[in-house]
Amino acid sequence: MMEKSLLIVESPTKVRTIKKYLGPEFEVKASLGHVKDLPPHLLGVDVEQAFKPEFQIISGKNKVLKDLKQAARKASHIYLAPDPDREGEAIAWHIAEELADKDKVFHRVLFHELSKRAILEALQKPEPLHEARFQSQLARRILDRLVGYQISPLLWQKVKKGLSAGRVQSVAVRLICDREREIQAFISREYWSITAFLNPGQPPAEAAAAASFEAKLVKIEGKAAKVHNQEQAEDLVARLSREAFRVVKIDRKERLRHPSAPFTTSQLQQEAFRKLRFPAKKTMFLAQRLYEGVEVGSDGLVGLITYMRTDSTRVSKEAVEAVRDHIQQRFGPDYLPARPLTFPNKKGAQDAHEAIRPTSMEYHPEAIASFLDKDLLALYRLIWNRFVASQMKPARIDQTAVDIAAGETLFRATGSVLTFPGFTVLYVAGKDTEDEENGEKSGRLPVLQNDQVLGLEKLLPKQHFTQPPPRYTEATLVKELEEKGIGRPSTYAAIISTIQDKEYVKKEKQLFHPTELGFLVTDLLVKNFPDILDVQFTANMENNLDLIEEGKLNWVEVLDKFYQPFAQTLARAKTDMEQIKGQGIATDIVCPQCRKPMTIRLGKNGPFLACSGYPGCRQTMNFTRDEKGRIQPEAAGQTEMGVEKTCGQCGKPMVVRKGRFGSFWACSGYPQCTETQPLAAGSGTDGEQPPAAPTGQVCPQCGSAMILKKNRFGNQFLACEKYPKCKTAKALETDMACPQPGCTGNLVSRVTKKGLRFHGCSRYPECNFLLWGKPVKQTCPQCQSPLMVEKSSKKEGTYLACIKKECGYRETKTDGES
């Protein structure tokens, strides 16, 4: 019997994809991500012994390792094929340590795409384990542990339990806080624009038939036009209406618009947000699925894209030839450049992997659309179109600029006409702002000649105000992080997710706003750990990690150079950092009860104002901040809707307070009067519920309509419209069938008395199936269970797990670095 070789990858999905292409001489197993890590509740780094890490088996991975060891006994050659990045190298290194045997030969194989050709080529050219790459990941892991596990407890002690600091996440929060303060400090200034509506004909009869066009005022007396107020604008319009408008210069030229390079990780995250509104985390999750393999009809599991963690724009020669053949056949020779296009990498880019591209031109998005869900297809189509467009001819644009003199002023009209669409027939990159999009819009100008006198139809003055810098979206934050060299593109999704989970920032209408907690923690960290929160310092550290991977720096020396000053700063901060817990932050707001200063305190339900005279004075109130960041205490007796309410017990005004279950009315005379009343969600009136939409269901007790309502935890449920006369209520069913064999019920969302959410069977108590976490209608690739469950942990972040404990399958991926 021929001895088998063992191939170890990270995910079971990859196992199924790779098995298709390998013969019986290979056994393929999955490690399910990392198998070893630093201990979850200890520092786990001996700073006195050259930063020796204390790795241990991750909880729940003993069974996985036992299975791998059993398979390794039958193999003398073990091929380690975790992802081709630093995290993957660390996984390979730890597996090799656990399976170490003098009779075993370990090989490192790098799969940059899961196609038959790439897999077989990688196995024919295995490499040794890359020690410098592993040391780079090790240095990053230890750096993050030294920062996070030593600053976070200090924040618990000084501010609030449960807070966290991170080497990269804290800098990302600082960027958002700094931008918000720029917006608050911004002073808007008035200015006016003047647009002339002109036409080539002079007499009114001709003017009506001629093609009119617009020209913008650009200069006054040879200087840039500056019109500050309405009086200046109206005066200028009055003078210009008596002037002749004459063409003084015509500038015509052809402009080429070149295609963008194929996607890097950060560009994919940015463009998926701009065009599809996908958060970075969702983009990376979907890209992982496309890379690992998707069921495509009779072809089975197919890896549709190359590795999705890369900052290189390089594309293989074979892929370029294939896409050029595709362009020739689909668009014709007019769209195919004479030679392949190449794109330079940005400075410091790692060139280990290709750009993100389709693995094969055989799988056109429309041909396999029926096999992909809506979001997966949208992302695959985006990657496909960008890649194909990157090898097409540029678009040609005829651009015309006409300068028009009128007295002491100069107007300019611009027009552009697309004469050859080139790559734009397939793909046009998205824009971050409306201004960028509007800048692309331009039309055709009529035929004009020098010294031609134009007909003036009207002059339109328009008021404007200068705008503050825009808040970050996911796309612009990723762009900023990359440009400043903070973190790596493969970590951006995790960073953005973490700073929201920790409630340092919130997202409103896709824009990031720092929370009160975010401002507070950032200010404390900037004051006490200036290096850690310094953008350039963080960028330099990322560069050092790259140099470790290249073998140009020693990882222990890098850590030592960082840790010595950091330890001194940490010691000073333990005594010098301001004590917020129990004392609050002083404000200039005066307590309405005792006239002492109010302080900002942090409670379970967020920040609030409390009297500094506590416990003698227990006055508290909610507050907001205006557009300049100034504290605005909530007025007594008003909600955000401006509705007044009086306490029925003592006659004092009621105020809106926030509790663990949301907002409610409370007497302003507290603690002498403890009267409270519910606040109707979405209203602000005296408890009247807003109109509920009909559900089409009928109450089984009285025959009235069932309507959607919310309980105190925010969960929706069905209730009879005749409440309180009829108190019939039932949980809202999902469209997911109960997975218990033989059960005909559906899963419903429920809440425990403590507010914990879970899903149970609608046929309870006949069926007692229960599931903690959010169910997802996705088949487990390992045991074919019809449902997965979405869970999250501090260590692993969000992941999908099989609902069957005995299966143990997880779709988890530590966002590593390329």
What single string gives the DSSP state of each residue in 472-529? Answer: P-HHHHHHHHHHHT-S-GGGHHHHHHHHHHTTSEEEETTEEEE-HHHHHHHHHHHHH-
Give the pLDDT confidence of 245-269 residue by residue, as tens digits.
999 999 999 999 999 999 999 999 9
Residue 93 in this model has a pLDDT that exceeds 90: yes
Residue 816 in this model has a pLDDT that exceeds 50: no
463 phi, psi to nearest 5 deg: -85, 140
Q: What's residue 807's pLDDT?
A: 73
Question: Whole-angstrom Cα distance, residue 428 to residue 438?
Answer: 14
Q: Can you tell me the mean pLDDT for 554-576?
A: 95
Cβ atoms of residues 478 and 311 within 8 Å: no
Question: Whole-angstrom Cα distance, residue 632 to residue 621?
Answer: 10
In the numeric block, which tokens belong to residue 360?
Answer: 């094969």
Maximum separation of any 2 CA atoms in the chain, in Å? 101
Q: State the amino acid at position 602 in one-letter form.
A: L
Helix axes 516-528, 131-158, angle to 10 degrees: 110
Q: Can you tell me the mean pLDDT for 150-172?
A: 92
**Whose CA is closest to 168, among 815, 813, 786, 805?**
815
pLDDT class of 663 with cuts at 50, 70, 90: low
Residue 529 in this model has a pLDDT that exceeds 80: yes
Question: Whole-angstrom Cα distance, residue 363 to residue 388?
Answer: 13
Question: Whole-angstrom Cα distance, residue 106 to residue 6?
Answer: 10
Q: What's residue 587's pLDDT?
A: 92
Q: Can you tell me the mean pLDDT for 464-473?
A: 95
Average per-residue pLDDT for the chain: 86
Alpha carbons within 13 angstroms on the beta-carbon side of residue 577 total: 27
Cβ atoms of residues 300 and 20 within 8 Å: yes
Question: Pick the residue with more confidence: 331 or 670?
Answer: 331
Q: Are strands 606-611 and 620-621 parallel, antiparallel or unpaired?
A: antiparallel
Which residues fall within 8 angstroms of residue 731, CB to CB, at 6 or more apart?
717, 718, 748, 749, 750, 762
pLDDT class of 691 with cuts at 50, 70, 90: very low
Q: What's residue 274's pLDDT?
A: 93
CA 697 distance to own-chain centroid? 38
Which residues fall within 8 angstroms of residue 88, CB to CB, at 6 or more apart?
10, 82, 816
In the numeric block, which tokens belong to residue 465?
Answer: 């105000």
CA dist 704 → 724, 728, 770 (Å): 13, 10, 30
CA dist 683 → 56, 160, 164, 663, 680 (Å): 53, 32, 36, 11, 5
């990392």: which residue's tokens? 34
pLDDT class of 521 with cuts at 50, 70, 90: very high
CA 329 distance to own-chain centroid? 37
Segment among 340-349, 472-481, 676-685 with least mean pLDDT: 676-685
Three-class HEC string of 351-389: CCCCCECECCCCCCCCCCHHHCCHHHHHHHHHHHHHHHH
pLDDT class of 730 with cuts at 50, 70, 90: confident
* Cβ neighbours, 10 Å, residue 227: 23
Which residues fall within 8 angstroms of residue 645, CB to CB, at 6 or more apart?
637, 639, 653, 654, 665, 677, 686
pLDDT exceeding 70 applies to what percent of the chain?
A: 89
Cβ atoms of residues 9 and 18 within 8 Å: yes
Give the containing element (helix H, strand E) for 562: helix 555-576
Question: Whole-angstrom Cα distance, residue 288 to residue 730?
Answer: 39
Q: What angle do CA 814, 817, 818 make, to 5 degrees?
A: 130
Q: What's residue 152's pLDDT?
A: 93
Q: What's residue 149's pLDDT?
A: 93
Q: Can you tell me the mean pLDDT for 551-559?
A: 96
What b/e sequence results for 787-800 when a residue is b if at least 16 CB atoms lie within 10 Å of its CB, and e otherwise? bbbebeeeebbebb
Question: Whole-angstrom Cα distance, residue 133 to residue 141?
Answer: 13
CA dist 376 → 192, 282, 294, 371 (Å): 47, 10, 10, 10
Give the containing element (helix H, strand E) for 206: helix 204-209
Cβ atoms of residues 442 and 414 within 8 Å: yes
Q: What's residue 794's pLDDT?
A: 57
Q: What's residue 420's pLDDT?
A: 95
Q: What's residue 755's pLDDT?
A: 64
**Whose CA is closest to 815, among 318, 264, 308, 97?**
308
Question: Whole-angstrom Cα distance, residue 207 to residue 198?
Answer: 9
Question: Whole-angstrom Cα distance, residue 453 to residue 788?
Answer: 73
Q: Note the residue count of the chain.
A: 818
CA 131 distance to own-chain centroid? 32
DSSP string, 378-437: HHHHHHHHHHHHTTSPPEEEEEEEEEEEETTEEEEEEEEEEEE-GGGGT-----SSHHHH
Question: Whole-angstrom Cα distance, residue 126 to residue 134?
Answer: 17
Question: Whole-angstrom Cα distance, residue 133 to residue 765?
Answer: 55
Question: Whole-angstrom Cα distance, residue 315 to residue 343?
Answer: 9
End-to-end CA distance of the chain: 40
Three-class HEC string of 241-303: CCCCEEEEEEEEEEEEECCCCCECHHHHHHHHHHHHCCCHHHHHHHHHHHHHCEECHHHCEEC
**Could you say which of 21, 79, 291, 307 is catalytic?**
307
In the numeric block, which tokens belong to residue 714?
Answer: 């925010």
**Whose CA is closest to 713, among 791, 641, 659, 657?**
659
pLDDT class of 643 with cuts at 50, 70, 90: low
Cβ atoms of residues 214 and 197 within 8 Å: yes
pLDDT class of 386 with cuts at 50, 70, 90: very high
Question: Whole-angstrom Cα distance, residue 115 to residue 812?
Answer: 22
pLDDT class of 527 with cuts at 50, 70, 90: very high
Q: Tell me, yes or no, if 427 is annotated catalytic.
A: no
Question: Whole-angstrom Cα distance, residue 374 to residue 470?
Answer: 31
Residue 401 in this model has a pLDDT that exceeds 60: yes
Q: Note if the bond before 765 is cis, omega within 30 degrees.
A: yes
- Exposed / middle / buried, residue 432 (Cβ in 10 Å: 0-12, 13-18, 19+): middle
Q: Are strands 26-30 and 5-9 parallel, antiparallel or unpaired?
A: parallel
Q: What's residue 337's pLDDT?
A: 96
Q: Are strands 746-751 and 654-659 parallel, antiparallel or unpaired?
A: unpaired
Q: Can you tell me the mean pLDDT for 575-591?
A: 91
């088949």: which residue's tokens? 779
pLDDT class of 818 with cuts at 50, 70, 90: very low
Give the pLDDT confidence of 295-334 residue by residue, as tens digits.
998 888 899 999 999 988 999 999 999 999 999 999 999 9
Q: Note if the bond before 724 is cis, omega within 30 degrees.
A: yes
Question: Pick the residue with more confidence: 146 or 716?
Answer: 146
Cβ atoms of residues 372 and 380 within 8 Å: yes
Give the containing element (helix H, strand E) for 190: strand 190-199
Q: What's residue 684's pLDDT?
A: 39
Q: What's residue 339's pLDDT?
A: 95
Residue 408 in this model has a pLDDT that exceeds 70: yes
Q: Specify the pTM.
A: 0.77
The dihedral formed by the CA atoms of 324, 330, 332 and 334, expressed in degrees to the nearest 10: -70
Give the pLDDT confidence of 211-241 residue by residue, as tens digits.
789 999 999 999 999 999 999 999 999 999 9
pLDDT class of 209 with cuts at 50, 70, 90: very low
